[in-house]
Structure 1
Amino acid sequence: MRLSGIIRDHLDSLLHPSARRDLMTRARHRAFIGPRLLGGLAALASLPLYLAVRGAPQEVEVMVFAWLIAPILVSYYLSRTGQYERAHILSSTALAAVVMAVCLNTGGISSFAAIWLVAVPLDAALSASRRAVAIAVALALGCALGLVMIDAFGALPMSQIPASYSSLFEALGIATATIYASALAFSAESLGRMSRKLLMVEEERYRLLAHNISDVISRHSRNGAIRFISPAAEALLGTPAALLLEHGLFDRVHVADRPAYLTALSEAARSGDERSVEFRVRRDVARDSDHARTPSADFVWIEMRCRPIDATSRSLAGPDVDVVAVMRDVTERKLQEQALEMAHMEAERAGASKSRFLATMSHELRTPLNAIIGFSEMIVREKEMMIDAARRQEYAQLINDSGLHLLSVVNGILDMSKMESGNFEIVPELFAPRESLIGCCNLMVLKARENGIEIATRAPADLPQITGDPRAFKQMILNLLSNAIKFSERGGTVTVSAGVEGSRLLVRVVDSGVGIGAEDLKRIGDPFFQAGKTYQRRHEGTGLGLSIVKSLVAMHGGEMTVQSQIDVGTTVTVALPMVFTPPAEKPSNIATLAPQRAEPQDYQVKKRA
């Protein structure tokens, strides 16, 4: 190990613990203690030799040796307390006192030692403390003024230096003062070099952090203008950091989020507290287009935490305080929050659908069951109640009608359950849709007449055959007709029409009923959903009719659209492909209509021989 390293290690062991945490502070303490210890120890080591050669020392010589030893005490004080400024003040005081004492005994202001008063403020300059320098200047000027005044009043004692040695002592005073001043200059240069080195090290450290950290660090004025932004902004926003300075970033903030962005910066500068805000920023994205990269843009969510610079308390924060901010991309989190919110809404809708389903089913099942139980009990007690054959026949018919109604409700629930689980069987075959359409209308004529509704059928005689499931087709038409008749007032009309448009068969069912509100129209087809409070109360049902139709249409690769207006009527249009292709041969992208299902299931398809 080099000698300088050994000396540095020993000096570091003498430093106060408070000076070891900062490199610059350690260097200043080391520069203060080292020369003073070495000088004091050298003076003590040379004292015996000087006494052997010189003999008994004079009063002036004792003062000089005392000053040479005083730095050891001052260094000890700094080592024990860590008070760097006070140590410099004590050192300046000791130096000024010794110079004053020597000058008083060697000729006053004209003494060889008077030049040492210049070294007092120079020595204090190394403290980097304005107060220590001011005190040292006051001491030097005070000593010089005191010597002048004492000399003017003739109060100086007789000089202890023989006249023959006066020139020698003057030369010695100038030489030693010059050497001391040179040492101070070298110390100042060394501290300056150390300061620049440490500054470069710190700058390099923070530069590495700014270049490699994924978060963006920026410095803003209170009005949002950027004074500095780290290079990470280029990777985040896809644009050079230089273009984001001043109001470059503000111009990219989404218009709706600009007030929140500026408010956070202003509040941080005004209050002195940390502020957090989330906003959207336009990001440039290069995309390939025709073998060339063209710029595009989208928005990312940014979370910004900002706080004032050098504002350690509210009293320090003012209108001119700059704000430092840390920004990070939180787009993924925002997307997850939106997905969670949508899932929550879906869960709420599913819960509402379940409640509606239970309320509807409790009525739909209880009504026919009450009829079945009531009329069957009456038949059991026919002798007691003296029921004749005609009345018994009527009760039996009512029981049969109620059972059929109950069966249709249960079948609807089962069909909907099969469709949602992907177990509903589609059996494609070639059939004539006109015959199925007319057959369904004939089946519903009786019900329509009971309600005072007229059914009109418009199907051309040359309507071509299609490939599909005829049973499912009839179920679609029957459900549409049943809904149209149920929600039409007495005296209304239900029109069923069919035609070919391109490669699709179009079937329209138009009624003049109560209609559907715009707010409910978008939810038509959801399982167990019944639209509109005003007309929901007047018409019973499970809310499964259009849901089953919509699912069957989707299973055939078709499309169902609904147009309606309150008190005017509703038009339901079903578009089916002329040739149905099973999912096993042609992948289908039609998702199940149940809101709680995330992925579509493949429906089972059977082909007839």
Structure 2
Amino acid sequence: MKQTLKILVVDDNEVDRMAVRDALTKAGLQMELFEVSNGNDAFSALSTTAYDCVFFDYRLPDQHGLTFIQQLRSSKIKVPSVVLTAQGDEQIAVQLIKAGATDYLSKSKISPEMLVQVLRSAIRIYWAETQAALVNQQLRESHEQLIRKNQELERQQQQIQMQNFKLLEVSQLKSHFLATMSHELRTPMNAIIGFSQILFRSKFGQLTDQQADMVERILNNGKHLLMLVNEVLDFSKLEAGRLDLKAEIFDISKVINLAVGEMRSLADAKNLSLLVQTDLQNTLVFNDPVRIKQILINLLSNAIKFTESGEIWVEVKELPASRVTIVVQDTGIGIAPRDFKRIFEAFRQVDQTITRKYPGTGLGLAIIDSLVRMMGGKIFLDSKLESGSMFKIELPRQITLFTEAADAPAIQLDGDEIYSSAKNPHHSSSKTR
């Protein structure tokens, strides 16, 4: 409670006002006491001055106490108010408290002790109600802010969804464009490669050394360009979910030796040793031989591209739980740990500048990663700058594909059941159960 209180007494009866004044004085309160005799004067005083408490008779000459309380509330005048009632008017006092009064006191019970007790109680109640109202107002404002924020978040979410739809549409258009252009480019590229090979045949005439060199360059560049086009086509199919594995039983060691044989000339051109070690008790697997060869050629191509001296070796080994692992290791420039994840991203290369030393689409490892995942396998990378890289692929000996041919007959591969076409039990391009 403040040290000096401002108190207003509203009563048309001078004797009643004096009783209140004497009781407050005897209580020893430090106060400034103001007195008025009617509701209009009280309202004017409360409109211009802040009081700590007001005592008022519920029967004023110009208006009823209930009207007075309602007038204060409508004018948003807030002050602790104590109704002074006659004996037996407790029910009326209760109605006034419901209307907004803080407390009431019977005039017959006015005493210094009782008046101080009611005064302190009224002020505490008023401030408690004020704080509660303030907290409620803050809660309402916070609730309204949350509603506005939720509305804003919903609006932003709708915008993000619309942007995602647009991005998805653009991505689909991009994939369709890449697939169409890649397909269209393959036809003239195959013709260039085919005619270049024809020119090397002796029945069409002997080429001079200079002519042979130019034709060989055309052939090699044509093959390289076709490989890049095929990478873009494969990636667009993978991205659109339209690339299927054509599984069959085959000798994985033969496919690996074939891929190594195709890449050996590139290794020889850089004086790199290319070694192969196969340690398999059973070389038969059920997978897509074309894609296995593609994975290995991509890994070998990268190893040769990024290795200036030393050796490259391929190792194929058995793993527990009917799995095999293919390891391609080199002594090349290596990869920094921070780039391990980035190199498997589409169109991503460690050197992104237009003047980079090592060309390529940046799709090779992304395609390998997607193909290995489709086969139910995993790919691991271990590398150190200036020390070389090791790519290790773990694959199930028998991949599992899903098809409508759930009743396809089973055949055996050294104890492993493999589902294949009924027409050709030894060569299956159908999908497994």
Residue 60 of structure 2 aligns with an amino acid whose one-letter code is L
The answer to whether the aligner puts 1:532 opposite 2:355 as a matched pair is: no
The answer to whether the aligner puts 1:488 opposite 2:307 as a matched pair is: yes
How far apart, CA to CA, are the structure 2 residues paired with 1:129 and 1:433?
103
The answer to whether the aligner puts 1:122 opposite 2:29 as a matched pair is: no
How far apart, CA to CA, are the structure 2 residues paired with 1:133 and 1:536?
82
Q: Which residue of 2 aligns with 1:517?
A: 336
Compared CA separation, residues 202 and 573, structure 1 to 2 (3 A): farther
Q: Which residue of 1 aligns with 2:360?
A: 541
> What do residues 312-332 of structure 1 show as CA deviations (whole Å, max 9, x unaligned)?
xxxxxxxxxxxx995459579
User: Does the Cα contact within 8 Å between 1:125 and 1:133 map onto a contact in 2?
Assistant: no
User: Does the Cα contact within 8 Å between 2:277 and 2:315 map onto a contact in 1?
Assistant: yes
Q: Which residue of 2 aligns with 1:189?
A: 65
> What do residues 311-354 of structure 1 show as CA deviations (whole Å, max 9, x unaligned)?
xxxxxxxxxxxxx995459579659869949x78x97xx99xx9
- How large is the RMSD of aligned CA atoms in angstroms? 5.2
Secondary structure (helix, strand or coil) at the match of 1:457 reads: strand
Pick one of 487, 493, 507 that aligns with 2:326: 507
Q: Which residue of 1 aligns with 2:135?
A: 228
The answer to whether the aligner puts 1:429 opposite 2:336 as a matched pair is: no
Q: Which one has a bigger Cα radius of gyration? A: 1
Compared CA separation, residues 131 and 497, structure 1 to 2 (3 A): closer
Structure 2 residue runs of 5 or longer lacking an equivalent are 1-11, 13-34, 50-56, 72-93, 102-128, 200-205, 406-427
Q: Which residue of 1 aligns with 2:294?
A: 475
Q: Which has the higher contact order (CA 8 A, sep 6+)?
A: 2
Q: Which residue of 2 aligns with 1:591?
A: none
User: Does the Cα contact within 8 Å between 2:316 and 2:326 map onto a contact in 1?
Assistant: yes
User: Does the Cα contact within 8 Å between 1:434 and 1:463 map onto a contact in 2?
Assistant: no
How far apart, CA to CA, are the structure 2 residues paired with 1:570 and 1:192?
91
Compute the displacement of 1:569 (Å): 2.0
Q: Which residue of 2 aligns with 1:412?
A: 231
Residue 496 of structure 1 aligns with an amino acid whose one-letter code is V
Q: Which residue of 1 aligns with 2:219?
A: 400
Q: How does 1:232-251 map to 2 (within 5 A)?
A: none
Compute the displacement of 1:571 (Å): 1.9
User: Does the Cα contact within 8 Å between 1:455 and 1:495 map onto a contact in 2?
Assistant: yes
User: Does the Cα contact within 8 Å between 1:499 and 1:507 map onto a contact in 2?
Assistant: yes
Secondary structure (helix, strand or coil) at the match of 2:60 reads: helix
Compared CA separation, residues 202 and 539, structure 1 to 2 (3 A): farther
User: Does the Cα contact within 8 Å between 1:457 and 1:496 map onto a contact in 2?
Assistant: yes
Q: How does 1:88-127 map to 2 (within 5 A)?
A: 121-123=36-38, 127=42
How far apart, CA to CA, are the structure 2 residues paired with 1:461 and 1:510?
19
Residue 566 of structure 1 aligns with an amino acid whose one-letter code is L
How far apart, CA to CA, are the structure 2 residues paired with 1:523 and 1:397?
36
Compared CA separation, residues 520 and 460, structure 1 to 2 (3 A): same
User: Does the Cα contact within 8 Å between 2:325 and 2:393 map onto a contact in 1?
Assistant: yes
User: Does the Cα contact within 8 Å between 2:66 and 2:99 map onto a contact in 1?
Assistant: no
Decide which structure has greater helix share. Answer: 1
Secondary structure (helix, strand or coil) at the match of 1:514 reads: coil
Q: How does 1:74-473 map to 2 (within 5 A)?
A: 121-123=36-38, 127-130=42-45, 184=60, 187-191=63-67, 200=98, 228=135, 326-328=145-147, 330=149, 340=160, 389-473=208-292
Compute the displacement of 1:189 (Å): 3.3
User: Does the Cα contact within 8 Å between 1:515 and 1:570 map onto a contact in 2?
Assistant: yes
User: Does the Cα contact within 8 Å between 1:562 and 1:571 map onto a contact in 2?
Assistant: yes
Compared CA separation, residues 449 and 335, structure 1 to 2 (3 A): farther
Percent same amino acid at aligned positions? 27
Compute the displacement of 1:396 (Å): 2.4
Structure 1 residue runs of 5 or longer lacking an equivalent are 1-91, 93-119, 135-180, 204-218, 234-303, 307-323, 380-386, 587-604
Residue 227 of structure 2 aligns with an amino acid whose one-letter code is S
The answer to whether the aligner puts 1:561 opposite 2:380 as a matched pair is: yes
Residue 499 of structure 1 aligns with an amino acid whose one-letter code is K
Q: Which residue of 2 aligns with 1:279?
A: none
TM-score, length of structure 1 as denominator length:
0.39
Compared CA separation, residues 335 and 194, structure 1 to 2 (3 A): closer
Q: Which residue of 1 aligns with 2:430?
A: 607
Q: Which residue of 2 aligns with 1:578?
A: 397
Compute the displacement of 1:472 (Å): 0.8
Residue 135 of structure 2 aligns with an amino acid whose one-letter code is F
How far apart, CA to CA, are the structure 2 residues paired with 1:498 and 1:436?
12
TM-score, length of structure 2 as denominator length:
0.53
Compared CA separation, residues 200 and 574, structure 1 to 2 (3 A): farther
